Amino acid sequence: MIAVIKQGTSEKQVENLIQWLNTQGVSTHISNGEYSTVLGLVGDTSKIDIELLENLEIIEKVKRISEPFKNANRKFHPDDTVIEVNGNKIGGGNFCFIAGPCSVESEEQILEVAKRVKAAGAAFLRGGAFKPRTSPYDFQGLQATGLELLMLAKRETGMPIVTEIMSTKHLPLFEDVDIIQVGARNMQNFELLKELGRTNKPILLKRGLANNLKELLMSAEYIMAGGNEKIILCERGIRTFETYTRNTLDVSAVPMLHELTHLPVVVDPSHASGLARLVKPMALSAAAAGADGLMIEVHNNPQKALCDGAQSLTPDQFDDVAKAVNTVREAIK
Amino acid sequence: MIAVIKQGTSEKQVENLIQWLNTQGVSTHISNGEYSTVLGLVGDTSKIDIELLENLEIIEKVKRISEPFKNANRKFHPDDTVIEVNGNKIGGGNFCFIAGPCSVESEEQILEVAKRVKAAGAAFLRGGAFKPRTSPYDFQGLQATGLELLMLAKRETGMPIVTEIMSTKHLPLFEDVDIIQVGARNMQNFELLKELGRTNKPILLKRGLANNLKELLMSAEYIMAGGNEKIILCERGIRTFETYTRNTLDVSAVPMLHELTHLPVVVDPSHASGLARLVKPMALSAAAAGADGLMIEVHNNPQKALCDGAQSLTPDQFDDVAKAVNTVREAIK
Amino acid sequence: MIAVIKQGTSEKQVENLIQWLNTQGVSTHISNGEYSTVLGLVGDTSKIDIELLENLEIIEKVKRISEPFKNANRKFHPDDTVIEVNGNKIGGGNFCFIAGPCSVESEEQILEVAKRVKAAGAAFLRGGAFKPRTSPYDFQGLQATGLELLMLAKRETGMPIVTEIMSTKHLPLFEDVDIIQVGARNMQNFELLKELGRTNKPILLKRGLANNLKELLMSAEYIMAGGNEKIILCERGIRTFETYTRNTLDVSAVPMLHELTHLPVVVDPSHASGLARLVKPMALSAAAAGADGLMIEVHNNPQKALCDGAQSLTPDQFDDVAKAVNTVREAIK
Amino acid sequence: MIAVIKQGTSEKQVENLIQWLNTQGVSTHISNGEYSTVLGLVGDTSKIDIELLENLEIIEKVKRISEPFKNANRKFHPDDTVIEVNGNKIGGGNFCFIAGPCSVESEEQILEVAKRVKAAGAAFLRGGAFKPRTSPYDFQGLQATGLELLMLAKRETGMPIVTEIMSTKHLPLFEDVDIIQVGARNMQNFELLKELGRTNKPILLKRGLANNLKELLMSAEYIMAGGNEKIILCERGIRTFETYTRNTLDVSAVPMLHELTHLPVVVDPSHASGLARLVKPMALSAAAAGADGLMIEVHNNPQKALCDGAQSLTPDQFDDVAKAVNTVREAIK
């Protein structure tokens, strides 16, 4: 961390600052220039509150050199984290498909989709029971009933379940869920993150629509600081000025996150574009960029889906995408 | 609402769609063009799920003509909403200052700041007890103790309290809070909004960092759909590519929201720029644009503030800003 | 195109508007609703000035249904455009590599790089002679001398040349250039586009840093409206809130553009991330998404490159990327 | 400037780098930390090419501490620059209105508007002769004829003229223009900026739609590096995710630019929102924030304006805005 001292600051004031920093466990080096004096902070600066420092009268600005996240940082944990659920692994070279409908709608629907995606090679079944919708007048999910239908599908097919949580008060309902998803709009719902940090469930953490990778990693750090290190990061498209697609897939997030962190990174090509016909090229792109998994919306009757039908594949289309993805993964080995 | 029908759709299919729409309470008009057939949907379309429609095989695209929010819509409620707490009014021509420290830190601090901002004309005391911070290692607020100190300040000064809620599970602690604030990062925490819709407290709803005005109004609609119509909207700066300021104040949101909705609109110039020296010009700007109130961070010792000190005014600076704002408000009458 | 008529407009006024629209070659259909009257415009609306219409007192808003670009529109030209230079083809299933240094620096440099990238399978040699730099104090390119060195490399290797133009006044110097590049910052330099529309050179048109696909296609339309239909579109990364990468590659632009237009689409993974170590995963991603070509920066000594060295590959790295890309292309066939 | 040295770099390599930097006129200080070695560069670093440095094998990253612009920097020129044309001053406490139609359309139109805005207190007449339009099929301006009509209006009213240039080849036509405007889409048309740096005309430089303030100042620096220091900066709204307004006025740019540079700053509230009914609140906002001038579109018949009519005021509306702005300016003195 670098702190630029304002012109006109007395030596005594700088001295005091240095002593205070030493008590915080960081040591300092000083560079005196014509226009500015620069203080280099050395040691574990991840726990220094940057705003507190910027705040001092004698400080012009502060810049971080090292990252403010620690548990999620590959520098301190060089080996890939591997998440394992019922023998299905994600990360460290293990690739998986997470597939299923946007929303759980009925027993028939979830069972049919589960069987089809399992047959096509999906390791995990996804399905929304609690749905975050922009309008209060849109379908909000089957909620507790939806979770029961997911458990039924799990018993019938043996597939572990991934589903989204929207409030800490629903946590008791998630006891048999295998991977708890935090949606994009809740990426910085810090109270939810803290609570999830006290569970021992794997968490699939989606990147917020206008959040950068550092913020995503800080949110992972919230969960990890509570003791839960089983986190899967998910790139699902960001908000840009483009209007033909719903969001814009940031495929460079995959190699960049692999460099910054040891946590596995999956991609959701369905939400990234919002268009079923773009799911295949985006899935291939993500695989080619080294994603550890793909989360894909599949519906037995997308025409009648209660939400996000426009971005859902049919089971036949998913078969085709899964095969193509495997071919690309083979090619880049 | 306009639905463009795909080329090659049979008359029978269009007929079926029209009949279904009629059962939803909307009537239709049809325009046949060379390249496309366009269906105009007439009536209350705010409860039509746009994705469900886009989803049908025969639909090319759907565009809204009227707004998807209804309770918040000025078209249906032409008169300004006025929020009143202990005789202090916001909206409908009533202007107010909401001032206080970013975080409640101690009895001495909150009492001193409260007395000073009251003397300068502030109607409401703000102060954070639960603090949303990007890093888990930064100061998270005094929490329950912070709320107690706010209540103490309320008793001592008579000022009503505005403070932020971060989780539905903290609601019981907010019983004596006068206005509950929903922060920018929770603007689309829909479970929290629903729960607040079931209270009868005024809600100060902050715009998300990358959310547009329609989304802000849809979040207000979530609260209003639950029966609570006492909402104050707050523009607090949006995320842009600018780096000299922390966020960018969207001052045009003020007149635009006044046109779209009957709800009062306040501006937070402290978070909008993140720099104490920009608070005065931004406060004057917001007043000149017709804001119904200003929410300003004031600290008795910004140098030692535990968070956001860089954007806090001293009580003396707040005196000066309040006077200048009143002069500008007088000038634009 | 849909025009919403304001409430309270007289029938006579609507009648007049319809008659005027008819003289512009578009016919109309009218839908009368309770809250609004909607006019559907049918026919070739690409030449209707949307602002002129929005501008009329009786109009509330105007929305386009069909695209405002015509020559570039796949609807009117279903077959892929194929650009051919000296037997090297781009588009319509023909893939190519365009490779070379960011800037031409010396005879030795450009010849060495040209030979190496040709051996690795590149069809075109790229190299900057005129360099757009954010700072006037940064290296601005060798200019006319740079173009001469590119011609020398062309004679020595037989490779056609791609290089950027920054001003219409330099056009005479580009007579022997094979493909003229328009950089991201000049995507809406309309005078330059018009002038290039009067040449018969293939144009490689880069997407602006904050422009959407419709604007990119409108810029292509500027060139095509002048008579030059040989355009290659280039996705090179857009500006987002991410800071770890210089820009963010929008890989979904590839399939989306293929749907909207018949023009070939190449991707520049070097500028998209600004980091040499991300070029390979981004190149594979773009190939997997169906790009018609890749434009990659290669330098014989990236450590000493005068600009953008941080994103340049060595010739050995380019060999590796080219092989991997070919394997992925084989896999997705 | 701060350069972080990669771990494992030898002392000899660091020594060599320091010697090279010394030859560039900058001296260095070194801080050795556990995880990184940081080199502080001291002196005039504005001419150091940051990419060249980042590029070296031994460098992990480089961060600027001081600004890369020099001629435009207030640190080196503390006094406000005042631009004077025919006795009309901008900057240094001198405020002015620049008003007129978006496009010059006819003798009658430009004369009528000129007389009206002069009577209302405008110092400069604006009017577009060359118009940058997104579509090649939209009205492109009267071009040379438009400039002649502006000159006529200047002779009749004595008002100096502000009009936009789109290509260096049109420069000879601009000999009698008083202030040459560079539009938002040409803010980084560096060849145009260089050429304008060789003239002695005042330049009104508009901020690009997605450019930050540093980039705006670097573009000003391009002109100033050529010897022309008469630059007026113009904030005209930036691109955001908001759709109700065409662009979003960044009113904080006014005080921020006043801090960073000595150049005058004017605001264009007409383009900033694209809506005539928002021009007044945005003009008042900008005045309250300390703008040195306002550039406002006025048309004698906005209903029939050939472009941007939706954002033009009538002469009567301009009278009203000018009065209100003067009252606000009086209030903030």
Q: Which domains does chain D have, with CATH numbers?
A: 2-63 (3.30.70.1140), 83-332 (3.20.20.70)
Three-state DSSP at B100 gives: strand
Q: Find the closest chain D residue to C215 by CA distance.
A: D134
**What single letter denotes the amino acid at residue A165?**
I
Chain C positions touching A251 (Cβ under 8 A) are 249, 251, 281-282, 285
Q: What is the CA radius of gyration of chain D?
A: 23
- Chain A nearest-CA distance from B64, in A, is 14
Q: Find the closest chain B residue to C43 by CA distance.
A: B34
Tell me the mean pLDDT in the region D198-209. Answer: 97
> Cβ separation of D251 and B251 shorter than 8 Å?
yes
Q: How far apart are CA C47 and CA B296, in angstroms?
A: 50
- Residue D71 neighbours by CB under 8 Å, 6+ apart: D77, D220, D221, D224, D225, D229
CB A196 within 8 A of CB A204: no
- Chain B interface, mutation test: which of C1, C2, C31, most B Cβ atoms within 10 Å? C31
Percent of the residues in chain C that have a pLDDT greater than 90, as a whole number: 73
A: neighbours with 3+ CB pairs under 8 Å?
Answer: B, C, D
> Cβ separation of B51 and A307 shorter than 8 Å?
yes
Q: Find the closest chain D residue to C195 by CA distance.
A: D167
Q: How far apart are CA D308 and CA B4, in angstroms?
A: 28
Q: Residue A42 is nearest to which of D31, D75, D239, comparing CB atoms?
A: D31
* pLDDT given at position C103: 94
D: neighbours with 3+ CB pairs under 8 Å?
Answer: A, B, C
Q: Residue B189 is nearest to which of A55, A186, A310, comparing CB atoms?
A: A186
* pLDDT given at position C35: 62
CB C182 within 8 A of CB C195: no
If you write DSSP's letter for every residue of A53-101 in order, what string do you get? HHTSTTEEEEE-SS-S--TTBTTT--SPP-EEETTEEEBTTB-EEEEE-
Q: How far apart are CA B136 and CA B292, in angstroms?
A: 35
> Cβ separation of B215 and A186 shorter than 8 Å?
no
Chain A positions touching D63 (Cβ under 8 A) are 2, 63, 65
- Chain A nearest-CA distance from B307, in A, is 6
* pLDDT given at position D87: 94
pLDDT band, residue A35 (cuts 50/70/90): low
> Cβ separation of B225 and A190 shorter than 8 Å?
no
Q: How far apart are CA B307 and CA A53, in angstroms?
A: 10
E strand or H helix at B316, and its extent? helix B315-332
- Chain B nearest-CA distance from D259, in A, is 10
Q: pLDDT for D21-54, tens place per residue?
A: 888 788 887 777 666 678 878 777 777 777 778 7
Q: Residue A2 is nearest to which of D2, D32, D42, comparing CB atoms?
A: D2
* pLDDT given at position D213: 98
Q: pLDDT for D106-120, tens place per residue?
A: 999 999 999 999 999
* pLDDT given at position C34: 61
Residue B25 vs residue C251, higher pLDDT: C251
Chain A positions touching D239 (Cβ under 8 A) are 241
Percent of the residues in chain B that have a pLDDT greater than 90, as a whole number: 73
Name which of A166-175, B47-56, D79-88 the model is least confident about.
Answer: B47-56
B: neighbours with 3+ CB pairs under 8 Å?
Answer: A, C, D
For the record, the structure tokens of C229 come out as 């239909």
Axis-axis angle for helices B213-225, B253-260 (nearest 10): 40
Q: Is the ipTM of this complex over 0.85?
A: yes
* pLDDT given at position B35: 62
Chain A positions touching B102 (Cβ under 8 A) are none
The beta-strand segments (E) located in D43-195 are 59-63, 83-85, 88-90, 96-100, 124-126, 161-165, 179-182
CB C76 within 8 A of CB C70: yes
Q: How far apart are CA A67 and CA A218, in angstroms?
A: 10
Q: How far apart are CA A238 and CA B197, in angstroms?
A: 29
Average model confidence (pLDDT) across chain D: 92
Q: Residue C65 is nearest to which of B4, B29, B32, comparing CB atoms?
A: B4
Q: pLDDT for C206-244, tens place per residue?
A: 999 999 999 999 999 999 999 999 999 999 999 999 999
If you write DSSP's letter for every residue of C117-149 in order, what string do you get? HHHTT-SEEE-BSS---SSTTS----THHHHHH
> Is the pLDDT score of A165 beyond 70?
yes
Q: Residue D33 is nearest to which of A40, A61, A63, comparing CB atoms?
A: A40
- Strands A96-100 and A59-63, how do they pair? unpaired
Chain C positions touching A284 (Cβ under 8 A) are 288-289, 332
Residues in chain D: 333
- Residue A177 neighbours by CB under 8 Å, 6+ apart: A147, A150, A161, A162, A163, A201
> Cβ separation of D245 and B255 shorter than 8 Å?
no
* pLDDT given at position B274: 92
pLDDT band, residue A189 (cuts 50/70/90): very high
- Residue A108 neighbours by CB under 8 Å, 6+ apart: none
> Cβ separation of A213 and C244 shorter than 8 Å?
yes
Q: How far apart are CA D204 and CA C135, in angstroms?
A: 19
- Chain A interface, mutation test: which of B46, B167, B246, most A Cβ atoms within 10 Å? B167
CB C182 within 8 A of CB C211: no
* pLDDT given at position D328: 97
Q: How far apart are CA D83 and CA D92, in angstroms?
A: 9
Q: Residue A38 is nearest to which of D65, D75, D241, comparing CB atoms?
A: D65
Q: pLDDT for B119-172, tens place per residue?
A: 999 999 999 999 999 989 888 999 999 999 999 999 999 999 999 999 999 999
Q: pLDDT for D143-180, tens place per residue?
A: 999 999 999 999 999 999 999 999 999 999 999 999 99
- Chain B nearest-CA distance from D325, in A, is 9
Q: pLDDT for A107-132, tens place per residue?
A: 999 999 999 999 999 999 999 999 99
Three-state DSSP at C116 gives: helix
Q: How far apart are CA A290 and CA A297, in angstroms?
A: 20
| Chain A residues near any Cβ of chain C (below 8 Å) | 210-214, 238, 240-245, 248-256, 259-260, 272-273, 277-278, 281-282, 284-290, 324, 327-328, 330-332
Average model confidence (pLDDT) across chain C: 92
Name which of A198-202, A319-323, C302-306 the model is least confident about.
Answer: C302-306
Chain C positions touching D308 (Cβ under 8 A) are 51
Furthest-apart CA atoms within chain A: distance in Å: 75
CA dihedral D217, D223, D224, D229 (to 10 degrees): -100
DSSP character for A35?
S
| Residue for token pair 């000129």 | D114
- Chain B nearest-CA distance from C124, in A, is 35
Helices (H) and strands (E) in chain B, counts: 10, 14
> Cβ separation of A49 and B134 shorter than 8 Å?
no
Q: pLDDT for D222-278, tens place per residue?
A: 999 999 999 999 999 999 999 999 999 999 999 999 999 999 999 999 999 899 999
Q: Residue C40 is nearest to which of B38, B66, B75, comparing CB atoms?
A: B38
> Cβ separation of B133 and A215 shorter than 8 Å?
no
Average model confidence (pLDDT) across chain B: 92
For the record, the structure tokens of D14 come out as 């660091």
Q: Residue D252 is nearest to which of B248, B252, B288, comparing CB atoms?
A: B248
* pLDDT given at position C325: 98
Q: Residue A38 is nearest to which of D2, D27, D32, comparing CB atoms?
A: D2
CB C248 within 8 A of CB C240: yes
Direct distance between the N- and C-terminal alpha carbons of chain D, in angstroms, rounded to an integer: 39
Q: pLDDT for A279-325, tens place per residue?
A: 999 999 999 999 999 999 999 988 777 777 788 999 999 999 999 99
Tell me the mean pLDDT in the region A171-175. Answer: 97
- The stretches of chain C forming alpha helices (DSSP H) are 11-23, 50-54, 107-119, 144-157, 190-197, 213-225, 253-260, 269-273, 276-288, 315-332
* pLDDT given at position A40: 78
Q: How far apart are CA C136 and CA D68, in angstroms?
A: 10
Q: pLDDT for A265-276, tens place per residue?
A: 999 999 998 999
Chain A positions touching C250 (Cβ under 8 A) are 240, 242, 248-249
> Is the pLDDT score of B66 beyond 80?
no
* pLDDT given at position C299: 95
